[in-house]
Amino acid sequence: MTEHIFYLSDINLLEVYGVNDNRLSMIQAGYPDVKIVARGDELKISGEEPRIDKLKNILGYLFDEIRRKGSITENRFSEILTPEHKVTESGSTPDKEVLLFGSGGGVIKPKTSGQKLIIEAANRYDVVFAVGPAGTGKTYMAVAMAVKALKEKRVKKIILSRPAVDAGESLGFLPGDMKEKVDPYLRPMYDALEDMIHAEKLKFYLQQNVIEVAPLAFMRGRTLSNAFIILDEAQNTTEMQMRMFLTRLGENSKMIITGDDTQIDLPHRVRSGLVQATRLFASVKGIGIVYLKGSDVVRHKIVKEILTAYEQEDKERGGY
């Protein structure tokens, strides 16, 4: 006897279960020797191993098609379930680099060697630093890993944080309440989340605090357990702020810290916590440090040329 659980929080459950569970009944009718239990966005199948392996591949293929297309017809649903339909042995993820399917059905996976290193480091270590220029997808990959961990129930929440402003997090001069003050600084994180989670589900997660997006100052005094925690724009943390943030790590949690050490906007003579941390932890076991390059830029192709030009001038000047 063996079992497998599908986590379906990223797709429309009506497309899986059908009206009055008619599609679920269709699956059960085709596999009467397999026990199928649906609880919300979890679908568990259990039975003899050969049958479970076959149904797992078929359902994985079916769910991926729903993710890609957003919906599926009754005829297509039946076709995939028929014994004659060919499903690859790899089942739901023929491409092993796929992290998840986005809210629009697109595939989200690393596109460059640097991004692949971030994924490998995050799978291996509980604390990872990803350092590199703008446009290399550091934050996007970190958020993708966090969303994947949440969907697979490996963590209970996601915490996304940034220094709210370039230096000192002085928000008082901005109009509006606290949320209105900090949201512009946290917008890149919201953009990534919207790419990966359907709007209604994302709204629910934010309302229930399953996903928390907050300025760095809000982390003080907390212990962050059973969470996937991301600190973005970390080059603009002070040494004291970085120390405070890193020591928030609790049980069963992971941290990814991203930043660009060439774009430090701290006041003169205030040292960057990111620069200090990557120096201190270069040889510490259990901490991964990944450096991305201009070749990892995934924005408009001209961005690579822009970065190359700036890097050349920096060399000629002897650095900052």
Tens of pLDDT, residue by residue over 139-169, are 999 999 999 999 889 999 999 998 865 444 4
Buried b / exposed e along 216-251 (16+ C-beta atoms within 10 A): bebbeeeebeebbbbbbbbbbbbbebbebbbebbee
In the prediction, which pLDDT does 169 show?
A: 46
- 275 has a pLDDT exceeding 90: yes
Report the chain's mean pLDDT, rounded to a whole number: 84
Read off the amino acid at residue 224.
L
In the prediction, which pLDDT does 309 show?
A: 84
Per-residue pLDDT, averaged over 168-175, amounts to: 51
Per-residue tokens: 7: 């986590």
- 106 has a pLDDT exceeding 60: yes
Tens of pLDDT, residue by residue over 65-94, are 887 777 888 888 888 887 655 554 444 444
In the prediction, which pLDDT does 188 show?
A: 79
CA–CA separation, 159 vs 232, rounded Å?
11
CA–CA separation, 139 vs 296, rounded Å?
13
In the prediction, which pLDDT does 163 show?
A: 83
Give the CA count within 13 Å in the CB-facing half-sphere of 225. Answer: 3
- 177 has a pLDDT exceeding 80: no
In the prediction, which pLDDT does 11 show?
A: 82
Q: Grade residue 176 by pLDDT with cuts at 50, 70 and 90.
A: low
Contact between residue 112 and residue 138 where contact means Cβ atoms under 8 Å apart? no
Can you give the pTM of this predicted structure?
Answer: 0.68
Of the ranges 13-27, 159-173, 218-232, 265-279, which one carries the lowest mean pLDDT score? 159-173
In the prediction, which pLDDT does 224 show?
A: 92
113: closest CA among 308, 301, 296? 296
Per-residue pLDDT, averaged over 257-271, amounts to: 89
Per-residue tokens: 280: 């201190």
Helix, strand, coil content of the chain in percent (nearest 5): 45, 20, 40
Per-residue pLDDT, averaged over 264-291, amounts to: 92
Per-residue tokens: 315: 């060399």
In the prediction, which pLDDT does 111 show?
A: 86
Tens of pLDDT, residue by residue over 44-67, are 999 998 888 888 888 988 888 887
Instruction: Give 207 or 107, the one with higher predicted confidence.
Output: 207
Per-residue pLDDT, averaged over 172-189, amounts to: 64
CA–CA separation, 160 vs 177, rounded Å?
19
